[in-house]
Amino acid sequence: MANTNKVKAVNPNNRIKTFNVINAIIFIIVAFIIIIPMWKILSDSFDLRTSYGMRLWPKQFGFDGYMEVFGKVSLYRPLLVSVLTTVCGTALALTLSTLGAYVLIQWDMPGRKFFANYLLFTMIFNGGMIPTYLVLSSLGLVNTLWVVILFPALNVYNLVLMRNFFEGIPGSMYESAALDGCTPFQTFIRIVLPMSKAALASIGLMFAVTYWNDYTHYKLYINDSQLYNFQMKLRDMVMGSDLPVSSSLANENTIKNAAIIVAILPFMIAYPFLQKYFVKGVNIGAVKE
């Protein structure tokens, strides 16, 4: 009598389910690692008797920390500077990036390849910190808000991403616009920009985060403390060199944590609304038909 070897088939779905369970557990652990410190800061920002330690609930609840942030000139002036530079800088940066990218896809433009290679060259090589400072100083931009608005706006990487996205728009759209009598600028306004919402949202978000979190340019080019942004003020508060004198029930640690929440809150609110555009814009220019 012959022995028959029975091989039990392995259901591939079981492996997938096991992977999903392990993956979910890992993500939950990582989520807790990220959320717990943020929750601690949020709790301490409302705790008028906050102290160091792992207390996750306010002992004495109050809004005095936030009232100090928005009520003291030394705190809300840097916040207004951050808002102003972020709004103006993002608008300017998107304008320069979209116009520059649109120019670079004009295939019949004389010198297009030269300008494209020139811009790419600046992504690899630059003048250095001291020559850059001397140039900005000679232009009269040092110690003004213009230097922290104009400098990050000239981002070749984002310009190239936008150019790649524009190149992914079907050529028939440009041809149809030209046949309808549109000038290149009218094509840009009426055709290209409305079709580029995902790119504008994702790149605009990257510009906005850069402006809001900017610290290096203020440290290098701004000497007047009246022009410091909120990140500079927050750094001085955390390091203990510029702690505000509280006139309310909130102590210094409560005000620090309230300032940290104010610094991270805008993009925590904005990101869910821009997420669908941001996900679409992650692969800008990666796929072309």
Span 170-201, pLDDT tens digits: 777 888 888 888 888 888 888 888 888 888 88
Q: What is the pLDDT of residue 246?
A: 56
The pLDDT confidence band at residue 280, using thresholds 50, 70 and 90, is: low
Q: Kindly list the domain boundaries of the chain, sorted by start residue.
A: 13-62, 75-281
Give phi and psi for 172, each to the nearest 5: -65, -25
Global pTM value: 0.77
From the centroid of its chain, how far is CA 53?
31
Structure tokens given for 242? 């510029």
Terminal Cα distance for the chain, rounded:
63
Instruction: Kindly state the tokens that stand for 221.
Output: 């080019």
Cα(46)–Cα(65) distance, rounded to whole angstroms?
A: 7
Q: What CATH topology corresponds to 75-281?
A: MetI-like fold (1.10.3720)
268 vs 264: CA distance, rounded Å? 7
CA distance 272 to 114: 40
